[in-house]
Amino acid sequence: MLQIFLLVLAVFVPIVIGYALKRGAFVPDSFWAPAEKLTYYILLPALVINAIATGRLSDLDAWPMFLTVAGTLGAATVVLILARGVFGIAPGTFASIYHGVIRPNGYMGIATCLAVLGPDALPQVSIVIAVWIPAGLILAVYMFARSGSAAPGVRHAWGQVARNPLILSVFIGLFLNAVGAGPFLRDFSALEVIGRAALPIGLFAVGAGVDLAAARAAGRQVLATSAVSLIGLPALVAVLAWALKVEPIGAAALVLYAAMPTSSSGFIMAQRMNADAPLMAGLITFQTAVSIVTITAVAIFVAI
């Protein structure tokens, strides 16, 4: 248990450093947007492309993993819509709650899965993000669009997915794997070297976005949503992965990814689409802060 806690803690150290760098003004505020852009468009895609291109994909059974993600998002959507009707949740508030449940933080997900499962799990993790990120993005944007904003809805979401560098990197990696470029990329390790910088910089940016004032203002909606996201969602994934007979490493990657706090991009989406941005800020910060406990518990579960 101590070893697993230390592995998870190692993921949170860069987040704490990022928070300190931001609050201490060690670097100017103008640094963070370009750093996140560099990670999103260059560093993380290099990591994913290299993992898929050099991996033994013939050994993976991706279909049960795909069904697990689809079943999880479908079941979570139904439960949340029913809860909206029962509790009379306003559309803008519901959109933020929905995002807070179904969109895990990708940077933390990849870093945690690799820390707990080891680098050999990156092909399975790549499959998880290749399915979960576009599906979650489309669903979240649709719910934000239905909150009453005049901003573009599902068509805009499809456009974002088509241009998403992580999704594109999955297809590039698959192509390179299919044409047999894997051995060359193992010897010429430029993509691997570039990709190593993705997770620390991405986690620094997560820490820079933490807003403790928003966390202190957390109310019952934040607590209830966070319980569903950090405990209920990974439990649902674990049941579905077991029922669909997902192979062990893939199942562990799915459950760990589901246990991540919500993506920090939700705050910008909530602002732009006239949803409940303060609630979204509270969800992001509160879930990030308490997830060290819940992620450790989930990591111990998948390690058993």
For 118-186, the DSSP string reads -GGGHHHHHHHHHHHHHHHHHHHHHHHHTTT--S--HHHHHHHHHH-HHHHHHHHHHHHHHTT-HHHHH
Report pLDDT for 150.
Answer: 45
Q: What percent of the chain is modeled with pLDDT above 90?
A: 36
How many whole angstroms separate alpha carbon 25 and alpha carbon 12? 20
Average pLDDT of the residues in 225-246: 96
In this prediction, residue 70 has a pLDDT band, given cuts at 50, 70 and 90, of very high
* 301-304 CB contacts, 8 Å cutoff, 24+ apart: 301/238, 301/255, 302/116, 302/251, 302/252, 302/255, 302/256, 303/4, 303/116, 303/252
Contact 230, 290 (CB under 8 A): yes
Residues across the chain? 304
Alpha carbon 236 to chain centroid distance?
16
Closest CA to 265 of 185, 157, 154: 157
Report pLDDT for 71.
Answer: 97
Contact 262, 284 (CB under 8 A): yes
* Range picked from 110-124, 147-161, 165-179, 238-252 for highest mean pLDDT: 238-252
Question: Tell me: the pLDDT tens digits for 160-190?
Answer: 666 778 778 878 988 998 898 988 988 888 9
Contact 117, 249 (CB under 8 A): yes
Average pLDDT of the residues in 109-116: 89
Report pLDDT for 285.
Answer: 87
- Helix %, strand %, coil % of the chain (to 5): 80, 0, 15
Domain annotation for the chain: domains and CATH numbers: 2-9+38-207+219-303 (1.20.1530)
- Greatest CA separation for the chain: 58
Under 8 Å CB-to-CB from 65, ≥6 apart: which residues? 124, 127, 128, 131, 241, 246, 250, 254
Lowest-confidence segment of 241-245, 259-263, 277-281, 286-290 by average pLDDT: 277-281
Question: Tell me: the pLDDT tens digits for 26-35?
Answer: 989 899 889 8
Q: Is the pLDDT of residue 61 over 90?
A: no
262 forms beta bridges with 104
Question: Is 0.75 surpassed by the pTM of this model?
Answer: yes
Query: Across all residues in the chain, what is the average pLDDT?
Result: 86
**Cα–Cα distances in angstroms (integers) from residue 284 to residues 212, 230, 264, 288, in the given order:** 10, 12, 6, 6
Q: What is the DSSP string of 205-259?
A: HHHHT--HHHHHT--HHHHHHHHIIIIIHHHHHHHHHHHTT--HHHHHHHHHHHT
Contact 138, 289 (CB under 8 A): no
